[in-house]
Each structure stands twice: as structure tokens, then as C-alpha cells.
């Protein structure tokens, strides 16, 4: 009697098959088309940036005057959320990570610091789902093809820390104006 027949006789079941989930499927032609589109988008953004930089230099005085007349901002935060990698859990309110590599709202040291002076930003969100989406590119509540937001972000929930933040944030644009004005002076020299 073979092992298979013996297992059947004893009521043993065969090993469970693992289910594979195909996340994406594409061809070499697709890759070429995406690369061409990516190159076009990059060229557009470079042209747009330098066009806008020129306009900012032309209208520098008016922009600074407008910023100086802006009303200071004061915002109450009640249980807002910040997510940091686990290794930074002891200092969750440090913005030092944003200086390592820039984000949507700041410039980090990963960009030429002589052309673009770095400045930090502290990324916080009004709720956990938004903080998760900001940090990982997908809300935690999203589920696609049976995979959770954390699984799609390739992150275990134990690999990061979320903290709640409450308090008042008050700011004036004066320090930004000084930094921005000096940056324009450096660029236009």
C-alpha cells in the first residue's frame, strides 16, 4: 500500500494548497509605455518648475508684501494622529526625519541643499486613517483582493507607532517669509 492510499484509509487529508494572489500583471510593452509617459511627466514638471521660479522672481516684492499681511494662524488640535516608524517611537514629535528626505510639504537634505535650503515639517493628520494614508500611501481601512491596507503597504502594524496629539498650534508666516526671501535672493544672484 502506498503512502497516499494509507493516508486515505486513515482519513488523513492532503496538505493545504497555498493561494496565490496576483497583485498586477503587465507586459514589456506596458513598461515601455509607462516609462515614456513618466519621462513626459518629468519633463513637464521641470519646465513648469523653472517657469514658476522665474515668475516668483519677477513678482518677488508683491509676493512678500502679500505674505507679510497674512493673519497669523491658530489651530486647536484634539486627538490628531502622527505615525512614525517604530525606531522613532521615543521621539514621535521630532521632525528630523523630514530633513533626511523631503516630503510633499518640505525640502530635505536629499535634494541639493545649496539650491534648495532644507526645512523640516511635522506630518500629522486629523484621524488615524488619514495618517496611515499619508505615511504609507493607503488608508488602513482599504482592503483589496483580501489584503489590508497594512499588508498592501508591506508593513506590519507592529513596525510603526501612532500617537495622539492635542493642543494649540499657532504660527506666523514671518519666519517663512525671511527664509523664502533669502532663498530667492540666493537663486537670483
21 within a domain of the structure (yes/no):
no
| CB atoms inside a 10 Å sphere around CB 149 | 20
Structural domains counted in the chain: 2
Q: Closest by alpha carbon to 55, among 47, 89, 9?
A: 47
Q: For residue 118, what pLDDT is reported?
A: 85
Rounded to whole angstroms, how far apart are CA atoms 137 and 130? Answer: 9
What does the CA dihedral 177, 182, 186, 189 come to, rounded to 10 degrees?
Answer: 90
Query: Does 127 lie in the same domain as 46?
Result: no
Q: For residue 2, what pLDDT is reported?
A: 60
3 within a domain of the structure (yes/no):
no
Rounded to whole angstroms, how far apart are CA atoms 165 and 80? Answer: 5
Rounded to whole angstroms, how far apart are CA atoms 50 and 27? Answer: 35
Three-class secondary structure of residue 160 per DSSP: strand
Which residues in the chain show pLDDT less than 70?
Answer: 1-17, 172-189
Query: Does 91 lie in the same domain as 43?
Result: no
Q: Closest by alpha carbon to 103, among 89, 126, 129, 124?
A: 124
Query: Does 81 lie in the same domain as 32?
Result: no
Query: Does 78 lie in the same domain as 40?
Result: no
Query: Does 157 lie in the same domain as 98?
Result: yes
Q: For residue 41, what pLDDT is reported?
A: 95
Expressed as residue numbers, the domain containing 41 is 26-58
Q: For residue 163, what pLDDT is reported?
A: 93
Query: Does 85 lie in the same domain as 45?
Result: no
* Residue 39 in grid coordinates: 519621462
Q: For residue 130, what pLDDT is reported?
A: 92
Residues 20-72 have pLDDT tens digits of 888 889 999 999 999 999 999 999 999 998 898 888 889 888 887 887 777 77
Contacts of 118 (CB under 8 A, 6+ apart): 99, 102, 106, 107, 108, 109, 111
Confidence (pTM): 0.55
End residue of a domain, out of 16, 35, 58: 58
Rounded to whole angstroms, how far apart are CA atoms 127 and 77? Answer: 11
Query: Does 88 lie in the same domain as 31?
Result: no
Query: Does 91 lie in the same domain as 125?
Result: yes
Amino acid at each position: 500500500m502506498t503512502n497516499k492510499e494509507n493516508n486515505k484509509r486513515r482519513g488523513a487529508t492532503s496538505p493545504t494548497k497555498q493561494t496565490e494572489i496576483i497583485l498586477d500583471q503587465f507586459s514589456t510593452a506596458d513598461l515601455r509605455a509607462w516609462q515614456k509617459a513618466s519621462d513626459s511627466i518629468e519633463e513637464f514638471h521641470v519646465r513648469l518648475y523653472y517657469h514658476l521660479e522665474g515668475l516668483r522672481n519677477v513678482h518677488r516684492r508683491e509676493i512678500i508684501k502679500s505674505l507679510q499681511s497674512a493673519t497669523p494662524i491658530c489651530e486647536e488640535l484634539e486627538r490628531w494622529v502622527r505615525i512614525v516608524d517604530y525606531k522613532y517611537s521615543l521621539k514621535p514629535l521630532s521632525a528630523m526625519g523630514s530633513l533626511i528626505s523631503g516630503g510633499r510639504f518640505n525640502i530635505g537634505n536629499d535634494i541639493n541643499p545649496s539650491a534648495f535650503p532644507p526645512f523640516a515639517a511635522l506630518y500629522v493628520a486629523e484621524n488615524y486613517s488619514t495618517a496611515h494614508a499619508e505615511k504609507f500611501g493607503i488608508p488602513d481601512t482599504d482592503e483589496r483582493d483580501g489584503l489590508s491596507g497594512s499588508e498592501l503597504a508591506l508593513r506590519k502594524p507592529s513596525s510603526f507607532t501612532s500617537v495622539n496629539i492635542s493642543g494649540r498650534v499657532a504660527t506666523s508666516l514671518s519666519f517663512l517669509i525671511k527664509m523664502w526671501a533669502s532663498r530667492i535672493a540666493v537663486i537670483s544672484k
